A and B are shown apart, each in its own frame.
Chain A
């Protein structure tokens, strides 16, 4: 056997090995495609059923009434129903994808699944922190707004928006910490941002808005003094 024959044989063997490996992958690819198609179909059917059910029970109105009005702002087309159906659909497609991957190599899938499941609590924790932070921020902002208006403070809205963003920034930093994204950078950035906001407010009050604040305080003091005249109004 000359050298050419040997090379040809080696080439044929490698080709047959490659083809056999490709052939061994083919069922897996087909299985992945089938799994994706089936999961997409199931996801679509479930999404339709779920959407109709949620519309039937007026989920959007109830969500708003239960105090989850912020959910609408996070949702596509301002509809929490759509948000829920899309989340469910994508979860089913993800499940189908994992099933399809398992048809290639069980060990690879188990490793992937293990790492994904290990990370899942962090994701859920971050979502909960973000949602809770958003709800708390809105609640506190509304309390500050109503309280400030009732105290006749002209900058009530500014105060409320400031409080809302402070709580939101805090919630985002906590969520990123939970996701283990950024690590020290997030802490540092949050510290700089939070400190910066407080410092900027202090400067604004101390320098830029000195006149405004002093005028406001003087006006309040004058009101409380009542110009020495007792008001005739008695409420209860």
Chain B
């Protein structure tokens, strides 16, 4: 267990609390506002479980140097059932990649939960601006009261929000693991004790370190492959951070590296399912206001065309000639006719996953080279959906998921016989 990563002050405080039923970790720093929200959420879960809230307090540093004072303040104000551990979970060190930082925070929160012997843990990774008490309650309730092991979130989002998840992570997870999970990587999750123990178990931890994967990417695959009970909760609107064009390829590396790495680890598991099944959902879907209007895809199209002109040599190391030919053909289409078919996108993602496994080229290069292709698909989707409703966009993503499922035998064949099978 990674208890060494828990700051001294927080560790002492956890030792004093000794045991709890529930732990809620809030990654974002909102100066202690999270505890009030969690208390409100707990009122919806009678009887109120003995709960530990880990939150950034705005006083203590990550090293826990000032955490003692904050802990004392928290101790003085708490009631019998709810305890607050002031602890800045996300490292302020800018050199650590944000996604990796979040995964490390998950790992240490779960280690703290294990130390406390909690029955359920809830980690809130989203910005607190849109998080409500209802949100937290819906993630915790199925674990504490209905015996589920993993509760993943369903967000109400616009047509152009959560694109990386909707066009790659979710369809990939659904096709491979056979469970229709809308947000397999959270980042807001409810987790049972037996699942997080599996995630932070030493032998598993050793493998994770070796494969450079992280808790977020492994959570849903581990739950599915180990036969744990999974459900999803409609939590509401999530605030998505704005696009950072200069770091988009780094984002792909940080997110897809662990996802593709996990495919290698769980290859024996994901090759079995033939089709996907829905998982139980809780809460009501929230309707989002329609934000119709034209979107500018010029920049994304330009990048895709530039990639098709200059990166063909790199793509050729992982993609078969037929795919390269199709991409080249699509890149010459005028904007109004530009479409990147779902089947082609699914095959491309699978080929990149295989290239990642075989280390055909440096993995960082491989994932960065996917950026123009990803933006090509996003541009194609945006052109198709610019006058569509949110409901139509959801149906569009459903079609994409089916394309990933249909193309799965291609990945299985290439995975098993990478040298022999190359259409």
Interface residues of chain A, those whose CB is within 8 Å of chain B, are 58, 61, 65, 67, 139, 142-143, 145-147, 149-152, 154, 156-157, 223-224, 229-236
Indicate if the CB atoms of A223 and B299 lie closer than 8 Å.
yes
On chain A, the residues within 8 Å of B235 by CB distance are: none
Instruction: Provide a sorted-by-A list of 19 A–B residue pairs whose CB atoms are within 8 angstroms.
Output: A58-B419, A139-B362, A142-B314, A142-B361, A142-B365, A143-B365, A149-B307, A149-B372, A150-B303, A152-B299, A152-B303, A152-B306, A224-B245, A230-B242, A233-B243, A233-B295, A234-B161, A235-B251, A236-B251
On chain A, the residues within 8 Å of B310 by CB distance are: 145, 149, 156-157
A-B contact sample (20 more), CB < 8 A, given A150-B371, A234-B162, A236-B241: A58-B419, A142-B362, A145-B310, A146-B311, A146-B314, A146-B369, A149-B310, A150-B303, A154-B306, A157-B310, A223-B299, A231-B242, A232-B158, A233-B160, A233-B163, A234-B161, A234-B240, A234-B243, A235-B163, A236-B255
On chain A, the residues within 8 Å of B311 by CB distance are: 145-146, 149
Residues 301-347 of B contacting A (Cβ, < 8 Å) = 302-303, 306-307, 310-311, 314
Closest 9 CB pairs of A and B: A234-B240, A234-B161, A235-B164, A150-B249, A232-B160, A146-B368, A233-B160, A157-B310, A236-B164
A6-B157 Cα distance, complex, nearest whole Å: 119
- CB < 8 Å neighbour of B248 from A61, A150, A224, A229: A150
Indicate if the CB atoms of B306 and A156 lie closer than 8 Å.
yes
On chain A, the residues within 8 Å of B314 by CB distance are: 142, 145-146
Residues 160-205 of B contacting A (Cβ, < 8 Å) = 160-165
Residue B291 at the A interface, CB < 8 A?
yes
**CB proximity of A120 to chain B, nearest CB, Å:** 33
Residues 352-366 of B contacting A (Cβ, < 8 Å) = 358-362, 365
Give how many B residues have a beta carbon under 8 Å from the other chain's beta carbons.
43
Residue B246 at the A interface, CB < 8 A?
yes
Contacts across chains A and B counted by CB atoms under 8 Å: 88
Closest residue of chain B to A235, judged by CB? B164
A232-B243 Cα distance, complex, nearest whole Å: 9
A151-B245 Cα distance, complex, nearest whole Å: 8
Closest residue of chain B to A147, judged by CB? B368
Interface residues of chain B, those whose CB is within 8 Å of chain A, are 157-165, 240-243, 245-246, 248-249, 251, 255, 291, 295-296, 299, 302-303, 306-307, 310-311, 314, 358-362, 365, 368-369, 371-372, 378, 382, 419
- CB < 8 Å neighbour of A146 from B242, B243, B365, B382: B365
On chain B, the residues within 8 Å of A154 by CB distance are: 306
On chain A, the residues within 8 Å of B419 by CB distance are: 58, 61
- CB < 8 Å neighbour of A231 from B243, B255, B302, B365: B243
Closest residue of chain A to B362, judged by CB? A139
Closest residue of chain A to B295, judged by CB? A232
A16-B155 Cα distance, complex, nearest whole Å: 107
Closest residue of chain A to B159, judged by CB? A232
Closest residue of chain A to B306, judged by CB? A149
